[in-house]
Amino acid sequence: MTGRAGPGGAAAGEIGTGEIATAVRDLLDPLDAYELDGRWSEPAERAACGRLADGGWLGVGVPEELGGPGGSVADAAAVVSACAAAGHRLPAADAGFVAGHLLELSGLRATGGLLLPVPEPAMMAGGRVTVDCPRVPFASWATELLLVTDGESGSRACVVAASDAEIVPGRNLGGEPRDRVTVDGARPAGVSGPVEDLPAQLRRAGALARAIQISAAISQMLELTVRYCGQRQQFGRRLAQFQAVQQQLAVLAGEELAARAAVQRALELIGPGPWPAAPVAVAKARTALAATTASKIAHQLHGAIGITTEYSLSRLSRPAWAWREEYGSEHYWSGVLGRESGTELWEALTCPTTW
């Protein structure tokens, strides 16, 4: 792969598709993350994570000159989208998309292990860092933690060995690891120089990563629901032949398209360097809103089978519900968009070329 470049590598409407997404899906199939009783299987997911790492896919988005496999923002988004669409619980969004953006801005090098970012800013004093963050994605899998500090000397990125942190395992609603991380005065293995507004960039990268995941999950919900309604019969007719069902499928398709378009537009408007807030705000707010409507319709049309852990729908909807709130809810990002737009909010909403 080439070094981190602009977002021109993805065609419109192709989030999570193309050669990269196909290669990632091939490594993740068959989906074996659930045991027969429906419990989430961490060994199966760790094995899938290992396959991605061995293939060089896990850190796509981390620049080559900083020790990563390289790849554009669009390449990193394709990997994130493919993992989310497959229903796997994997740290690709955090290890590649989010960490890649922070490493690019800070100039820190990746060391080759699983480097995962901590979502909340840390404090640095006397060359030591302190943080207590309750919901860190996949921290119990990490070999190193990427922290963003915020203090009088400015914001910096630093790397702390996972062994220097106290990590208490936890889960989000979708079954993904969300672990409590406590670092009490550890000395970092590496510290960047001052980087302007790095905590805001951390939140933006995380929010856009979650928007990409939500969009991919909704696309799969739509595909599952259309297939199910085309096969399931009731009162002697396929569900898809009922007008009420057709109307609901149309609404679901509209939400999927809106979520995908918002994410695609955001990817077109970002690139190397700091990311603007407005396109990220639109993507996160719109996908979070779509996740609520889309999952409601998908579960209504599936009926009881949709809520079983063995069926694929619940592997998509439950993580999407959790992703809505992570790195800022739709209400938070709607507020950001309003503040960024100021008195020109209406123009910003109706003329997206002004973002």
pLDDT tens digit string along 155-168?
999 999 999 999 99
Average pLDDT over residues 342-354: 66
Give the global pTM: 0.90
> Residue 12 has what pLDDT?
33
Question: What average pLDDT does range 10-22 have in this prediction?
Answer: 61
Q: For residues 78 and 19, what is the distance between their CA atoms, to the nearest angstrom?
A: 9
Interatomic CA distance for residues 66 and 103, integer angstroms: 7
| Cβ-defined contacts of 251-258 (< 8 Å, 24+) | 251/293, 251/297, 252/221, 252/222, 252/225, 252/293, 252/294, 252/297, 252/298, 253/222, 255/218, 255/290, 255/293, 255/294, 255/297, 256/215, 256/218, 256/219, 256/221, 256/222, 256/290, 256/294, 258/286, 258/290
What domains are defined for the chain?
Answer: 198-354 (1.20.140.10)
pLDDT-based confidence at residue 352 (cuts at 50, 70, 90) = low
User: Does position 290 have pLDDT exceeding 50, yes or no?
Assistant: yes
| Contact in structure between 124 and 156 (CB atoms under 8 Å) | yes
pLDDT value at position 7? Answer: 34
CA-based torsion, 107, 108, 114, 117: positive or negative:
negative
For 179-219, what is each residue's pLDDT tens digit?
999 999 999 999 999 999 999 999 999 999 999 999 999 99
Indicate if the pLDDT at residue 324 is higher than 90: yes
